[in-house]
Amino acid sequence: MIAAFSAWFLYSEHGLPVPVALILGTLFAVIVNSAIDYAAIRRIPEGRPGLDLVVTLGIFLLITAVMQQLIDANAHTFTSLGADTRTELGGVVVSVNDGVVVVLTAAIILGAYLLLNRTSLGTSLRASAEDAGIAQAAGVNVRALRTATWAAAGVIAAIVAVLVASRLSVDAFYMTPVLIKAFIAGMIGGLDRFWLPLSVAVGLGVYEALAVFLLGSSAGTPAVFLLIIVVLALVPKRFVNERNEVRA
């Protein structure tokens, strides 16, 4: 949201070229994300259940309110990134934007997979997530790694925010449903796994689209939330063990 809002502000209010505004917006989001880790997340005391969620909720409220105050509460049309350029492929109407989304998503997933599984940096990351103390003792700079992870997460979130904005519009709350669904996918799939949360995210999208298609536009929200309650109530216990939870 910060990336898309900043980019929109830079190109629409200050006349910057769209690509430059998008890069600057993304950079700003990365800086803010890293600053959140530096100023808040790493300072959360251990052994206080739920405190990390409370702190991130506070930051979420703060960022949303600041964005509303700095710009306004209205929705603004974002650059379309090819959403209005359509063609027909095998009877299906697709836009350039669809292509951009698919290619970027595939590239990010592949990049993240290779980083986590084929590089020493990825091994250090996984080791730190599993046991930061042991990783630190083994010579991993956990603090720097954490900040770098937050920065990388900021880049990915910024790209997603820009892609979503290009298909909808930008306001202070437009990413909230996306955030909730990403949270759902992470919770159901498990934040310490790679493919399962991704599969859950895709499945959730297909399921919501099907519910809307079959039952009407107002059926999407209840269908998704009913599914969460049912899935989390029925999923085998090993999937919902607290030790599989890591800080969101």
Spatial separation of the C-alpha atoms in residues 173 and 75, rounded to whole Å = 9
**216 contacts another protein (rule: CB under 8 A):** no
What are 94's strand-pairing partners?
A: 87
* Near another protein by CB under 8 A: residue from 17, 111, 205, 222: 222
Which is closer to another protein, CB of 59 or CB of 156? Answer: 59
* Near another protein by CB under 8 A: residue from 17, 19, 31, 51: 51
DSSP output for 101-131: HHHHHHHHHHHHHHHHHHSHHHHHHHHHHH-
Spatial separation of the C-alpha atoms in residues 179 and 146, rounded to whole Å = 21
User: For the chain, how big is the Rg over CA atoms in Å?
Assistant: 19
Which is closer to another protein, CB of 20 or CB of 65? Answer: 65
* Near another protein by CB under 8 A: residue from 48, 86, 118, 126: 48
Site mask, another protein, residues 185-214, x = CB under 8 A?
A: --x---------------------------
Which is closer to another protein, CB of 20 or CB of 57? Answer: 57
**49 contacts another protein (rule: CB under 8 A):** yes
Give the list of residues 6+ apart from residue 199 with CB closer than 8 angstroms, or none: 189
Q: How far is CA 126 from the centre of its chain?
A: 19
**238 contacts another protein (rule: CB under 8 A):** no
DSSP three-state, residue 151: helix
Give the list of residues 6+ apart from residue 192 with CB closer than 8 angstroms, or none: 129, 244, 246
To which residue do tokens 């800080």 refer? 247
**65 contacts another protein (rule: CB under 8 A):** yes
Q: Which stretch binds another protein (CB under 8 A): 3-11, 25-33, 39-47, 80-88?
A: 39-47
* Near another protein by CB under 8 A: residue from 50, 90, 91, 139: 50
156: part of which helix (H) or strand (E)?
helix 142-167
**77 contacts another protein (rule: CB under 8 A):** no
**61 contacts another protein (rule: CB under 8 A):** yes
Which is closer to another protein, CB of 51 or CB of 102? Answer: 51
Count CA atoms within 13 Å of residue 238 on its CB side: 0
**248 contacts another protein (rule: CB under 8 A):** yes
**75 contacts another protein (rule: CB under 8 A):** no
CB of 52 to another protein, least distance (A): 9
